[in-house]
Chain A
Amino acid sequence: MSERIVFDRVSKEFPTATGHMVAVEDFSLRVRDGEFISLVGPSGCGKTTLLSMLAGFVQPTTGAVSLNGKPVAGPGPDRGVIFQDYGVFPWLTVRDNIAFGLTLKANRVPPAERDAVVARYIELMGLRGFEDAYPKTLSGGMKQRVALARAYAVKSDFLLMDEPFGALDAQTRTAMQDLLLHVLETEGKTVLFITHSVEEALYLSSRVVVITARPSRIRRVIDVPFPYPRREELHRHPEFAELEYELRELVMQEYVDQERQKDVSLTA
């Protein structure tokens, strides 16, 4: 049972005005407990579709996505999902946002325990002093920390992150990467992470999966050899730079392929 997430020959088609579009084709991936998997590839290649199938928002057309051996039937609190647009509830304060999941029937806990959990994540995510603030007053980085705390509070085993730091500036992004690594050290989770940034994928992941231009297939899976805990200095490691270069080349080729596909479809 060490394989927690299994994509088994998954494909997904969407109906379009002119027929149907194949977003994912024959995609298989097995993720072990505690792994940090990044999916990188050209934008619009179907990475988000893969994550949506695992989250339970959409069902595969053929093949199966299973979680702990059971097929995914719908969204649930065992999988925390972090979106690029944060999804922090604007009508709730920071505290109430983090507590939200714990007040639902699915994972209700006594108020005292709830307060303790919320306090712990406010501390861990560096949100102290902002407990009663509404999201409109928070920066992007802080909103994403609230979203992360909210997902953690319901004790999900998995984190599915769809370009979570894509909307943040470079400094905040680096800080958030380190915060994520730190939190993962204290409480392990199995993570599926979508990003455009090859560097981010390498820095965070245990394995990087390069996805082809649409339809999504696996181009290459790269094991990242650096041990955890990882620190900022890793970026200066010669092997890191080498891997980064190699990965970038792969991803660039897919971009080129995708552009060529667009040209073909335009001339056709």
Chain B
Amino acid sequence: MTEATAGKPAKALSRADTTAPARSISRTLGRPALMILPWVAAVLVWYAVALSGLVSSALVPTPGQVFKQFWRLLTTQKLWFDMLMSSERVLLGLAAGITLAVPIGFVLGWYRPVRTAVDPLVNFFRALPPIALIPLVIVYFGIGETAKIVMLFYAAFFTGVIVMYEGIVQINPLFIRVARTLGATDGEVFRRVIVPLTVPHVLTAVRVALGVAWATLVASELIAAQRGLGAVIQNASNYFQIDVIYAGIICIGVIALLMDRCLRALGARLVRWQERIVP
């Protein structure tokens, strides 16, 4: 949806050359404008759909209505508290998942026999949808905070492990050989070569796991959650408050996006040396 509308101005400028106008647009508008443009376009399309009369206005609220609801929830229902609760759950689940996923993913990536043995198991557990686990989680962990965080931990851990070991497998053994010929001991090879080469994969694992954790949030808050964005969405669905559902979904997306941006900025600082397609 956003792609199609972003392409429009380029077409208006010139039909013959596609790259030159695209470049000149980014030059005249600048990077921030280029990043805001698709959002503006998306909101416009949303308005167009909502007001077109093609769909019932009861089913698709306008962005204005949703924003009004958002503001009402924020000022009267302490929506910020739901945001905080959900963010806290996601971050705790993510932290626990990644803390365990990094060493385990490393061992799996480093030792081929271990990988051969454990890989099917990891993929088996990763494939299980978190919602299907809810009854078991309730039996074993009750209906408190722990149960919700366990769900998020589960999702973050298995995603993190896979991203980690896929990355570790790709580490070029040439660098280890070079370090050895320069006189590095086993400890020095680990600290000075393997650790720096692992950092980018840890960052990727955190980013991917963060996305998966947010995606699992609503499921985890199906477990008797009073507060949290997932709870907001579920309560709204009981009362058919579609504009509230929209507001909740958008909050999740925006917070997830902001957290991902922070991680990217952190990553760019930590692995300045890495080759990137876009400099």
Assembled-state Cα–Cα distance A4/B197 (Å): 36
Chain A residues lying within 8 Å of B272, measured Cβ to Cβ, are 134
Do B184 and A106 have beta carbons less than 8 Å apart?
yes
Which of A80-88, A199-207, A259-267 is the contact stretch? Answer: A80-88
Within 8 A of A (CB), among B136-193: 174-175, 177-185, 188, 192-193
Which of A17-25, A71-79, A123-131, A170-178 is the contact stretch? Answer: A71-79
Do A85 and B183 have beta carbons less than 8 Å apart?
no
Assembled-state Cα–Cα distance A184/B188 (Å): 30
Do A77 and B188 have beta carbons less than 8 Å apart?
no
Is the C-beta of B196 less than 8 angstroms from some C-beta in chain A? yes
Do B183 and A89 have beta carbons less than 8 Å apart?
no
- Can you name the residue of chain A whose Cβ is closest to the Cβ of B178? A87
Chain A residues lying within 8 Å of B183, measured Cβ to Cβ, are 76-77, 101, 104-107, 154
Assembled-state Cα–Cα distance A174/B130 (Å): 61
Is the C-beta of B275 less than 8 angstroms from some C-beta in chain A? yes
Is the C-beta of B239 less than 8 angstroms from some C-beta in chain A? no
Is the C-beta of A245 less than 8 angstroms from some C-beta in chain B? no
**Selected contact of A134 from candidates B179, B193, B196, B273, CB within 8 Å:** B273
Known contacts A92-B273, A136-B274: does B180 contact A75 (CB below 8 Å)? yes
Is the C-beta of A100 less than 8 angstroms from some C-beta in chain B? yes
Known contacts A91-B196, A134-B273: does B181 contact A76 (CB below 8 Å)? yes
Assembled-state Cα–Cα distance A92/B175 (Å): 12
Known contacts A76-B183, A105-B185: does B178 contact A91 (CB below 8 Å)? no
Q: Which residue, B177, B185, B197, has most C-beta atoms of chain A within 10 A?
A: B177
Is the C-beta of A69 less than 8 angstroms from some C-beta in chain B? no
Chain A residues lying within 8 Å of B250, measured Cβ to Cβ, are none
Do A100 and B182 have beta carbons less than 8 Å apart?
yes
- What 1/0 flags go to A81-116 for Cβ under 8 Å of B? 101010101111000000011001111000000000
Chain B residues lying within 8 Å of A83, measured Cβ to Cβ, are 174, 177-178
Known contacts A87-B177, A89-B175, A91-B196: does B273 contact A136 (CB below 8 Å)? yes
Give A84 Cβ to nearest chain B Cβ, in Å. Answer: 10
Known contacts A89-B175, A89-B193, A104-B188: does B274 contact A81 (CB below 8 Å)? no
- What 1/0 flags go to B255-279 for Cβ under 8 Å of A? 0000000000000000111110000
Assembled-state Cα–Cα distance A76/B193 (Å): 16
Do B273 and A90 have beta carbons less than 8 Å apart?
yes
Chain A residues lying within 8 Å of B193, measured Cβ to Cβ, are 89
**Selected contact of B182 from candidates A85, A92, A101, CB within 8 Å:** A101
Is the C-beta of A150 less than 8 angstroms from some C-beta in chain B? yes
Q: Which residue, B180, B183, B192, has most C-beta atoms of chain A within 10 A?
A: B183
Chain B residues lying within 8 Å of A100, measured Cβ to Cβ, are 179, 182, 192
Is the C-beta of A55 less than 8 angstroms from some C-beta in chain B? yes
Do A80 and B181 have beta carbons less than 8 Å apart?
yes
- What 1/0 flags go to A217-261 for Cβ under 8 Å of B? 000000000000000000000000000000000000000000000
- State how many residues of chain B have any CB contact under 8 Å with chain A: 21
Assembled-state Cα–Cα distance A85/B192 (Å): 20
Do B175 and A57 have beta carbons less than 8 Å apart?
no
Chain B residues lying within 8 Å of A104, measured Cβ to Cβ, are 182-185, 188, 192
Assembled-state Cα–Cα distance A55/B192 (Å): 21
Assembled-state Cα–Cα distance A107/B180 (Å): 12
**Selected contact of B275 from candidates A75, A136, A147, A150, CB within 8 Å:** A136
Chain A residues lying within 8 Å of B178, measured Cβ to Cβ, are 81, 83, 87, 89, 147
Give B181 Cβ to nearest chain A Cβ, in Å. Answer: 4
Known contacts A87-B175, A91-B196, A92-B273: does B184 contact A81 (CB below 8 Å)? no
Do B273 and A77 have beta carbons less than 8 Å apart?
no
Give B170 Cβ to nearest chain A Cβ, in Å. Answer: 13
Known contacts A83-B174, A90-B274, A91-B271: does B182 contact A150 (CB below 8 Å)? yes
Assembled-state Cα–Cα distance A89/B181 (Å): 14
Interface residues of B (CB under 8 A from A): 174-175, 177-185, 188, 192-193, 196-197, 271-275
Q: A77-B182, A91-B197, A106-B182 are in contact. List 9 more A-B contacts (CB 8 A).
A: A56-B180, A76-B183, A89-B178, A89-B193, A91-B196, A91-B274, A100-B182, A106-B184, A135-B273
Interface residues of A (CB under 8 A from B): 55-57, 74-77, 79-81, 83, 85, 87, 89-92, 100-101, 104-107, 134-136, 147, 150-151, 154
Q: List 29 A-B contacts (CB under 8 A).
A: A75-B177, A75-B180, A75-B181, A79-B181, A80-B181, A81-B178, A83-B174, A83-B178, A89-B175, A89-B193, A89-B196, A90-B273, A90-B274, A90-B275, A91-B271, A91-B274, A101-B183, A104-B183, A104-B184, A105-B183, A105-B188, A106-B184, A106-B185, A107-B183, A134-B272, A134-B273, A136-B274, A136-B275, A154-B182
For the complex of A and B, the 9 pairs showing the least CB-CB separation, nearest first, are A106-B183, A77-B183, A101-B182, A87-B178, A75-B180, A91-B196, A81-B181, A91-B273, A134-B273
